[in-house]
């Protein structure tokens, strides 16, 4: 199966690199600057002191030759509209398009453009793109979930699962991929809000007076939106997330807080803004999420002004 990975950042680069190492036929759709970087230095994954350089195949917009069996979308939300136009030549009758984006806003845009080609996807990795283009890995491997958006079983989901199965990756097909996508959204919104407000780890938040209470309350806010949307988290799942966000001395952070501390733009609208808008539509109060969103929006405005 020919695979196209759109984006070679912390997500696309990490997953695509592992697929290349597993012997898959992979092309990366990247901008000219990133392509030159990858050709010169290779796709570099840094795990502690170990640096792995992987030779990869890059293509640019307008350079796609024929349809791919699988397209993995791993770009920033702002790039999605242009990327959807770029990948059209790579989408054929049998193409499966799996997005690894945060939140849910992208699903409607993709299905409106590509219809039934779109599958649901959830990716859980802990990585970050360094300023020099290296992908820094903070935890081993990763977990991937894929499925038809309508919950049906299909041969193409089986084929995609096999294609994505690489060493150190767990690939599963949940009963309802949309439920799984909402579950991840609740998790990253909660961790992102709490760690951004304290500009540190979950452990730092819990160490502060009433920090664990605040974190648990933030989880309740996010989970209430999922419930109102028809995708409630199960009791065991909520219990596990509550333990995760209230764990003393936990080193857990989020991409939102890491970008904030590094002085880079954050995905506040995709992760928190859309969730807050949906909460308001359901008549729900989410003051903790709103406080975190305000912090990140002000940060993004300062970053934009400095450019």
- Residues 8-17 pLDDT 10s: 999 999 999 9
**Of 228, 44, 49, 70, nearest to 29 (Cα)?**
70
pLDDT digits (tens, 9 = 90+) for 236-273: 999 999 999 999 999 999 999 999 999 999 999 999 99
> Is the per-residue pLDDT at 77 higher than 90?
no
pLDDT digits (tens, 9 = 90+) for 173-182: 999 999 999 9
Q: How confident is the model at residue 48 (pLDDT cuts 50, 70, 90)?
A: confident
Q: How confident is the model at residue 49 (pLDDT cuts 50, 70, 90)?
A: confident
pLDDT of residue 209: 98
107 close to 120: Cβ distance less than 8 angstroms? yes
pLDDT of residue 213: 98
What is the average pLDDT score of the chain? 95
Instruction: Report the share of the chain in percent with pLDDT over 90.
Output: 90
């Amino acid at each position: 199966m020919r695979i196209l990975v759109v984006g070679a950042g912390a997500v696309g680069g990490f997953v695509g690199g592992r697929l290349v190492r597993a012997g898959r036929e992979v092309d990366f759709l990247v901008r000219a600057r990133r392509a030159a970087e990858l050709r010169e230095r290779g796709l570099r994954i840094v795990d502690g002191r170990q640096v792995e350089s992987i030779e990869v195949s890059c293509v640019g917009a307008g350079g796609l030759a024929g349809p791919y069996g699988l397209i993995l979308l791993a770009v920033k939300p702002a790039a999605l509209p242009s990327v959807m136009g770029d990948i059209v030549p790579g989408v054929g009758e049998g193409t499966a398009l799996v997005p690894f984006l945060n939140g849910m806003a992208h699903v409607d845009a993709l299905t409106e453009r590509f219809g039934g080609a779109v599958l649901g996807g959830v990716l859980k990795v802990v990585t970050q793109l360094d300023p020099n283009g290296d992908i820094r890995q903070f935890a081993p491997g990763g977990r991937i979930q894929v499925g038809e958006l309508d919950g049906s079983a299909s041969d193409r989901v089986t084929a995609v699962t096999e294609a994505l199965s690489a060493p150190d990756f767990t690939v599963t097909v949940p009963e309802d991929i949309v439920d799984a996508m909402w579950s991840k959204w609740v998790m990253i919104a909660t961790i992102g809000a709490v760690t951004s407000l304290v500009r540190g780890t979950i452990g730092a938040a819990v160490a502060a007076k009433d920090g664990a209470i605040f974190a648990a309350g933030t989880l309740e806010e996010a989970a209430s939106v999922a419930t109102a949307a028809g995708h409630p988290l199960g009791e065991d799942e909520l219990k596990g997330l509550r333990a995760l966000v209230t764990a003393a001395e936990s080193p857990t952070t989020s991409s939102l807080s890491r970008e904030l501390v590094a002085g880079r733009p954050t995905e506040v609208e995709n992760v928190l803004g859309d969730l807050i808008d949906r909460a308001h539509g359901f008549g729900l109060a989410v003051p903790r999420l709103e406080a975190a969103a305000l912090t990140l929006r002000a940060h993004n405005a300062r970053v934009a002004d400095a450019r």
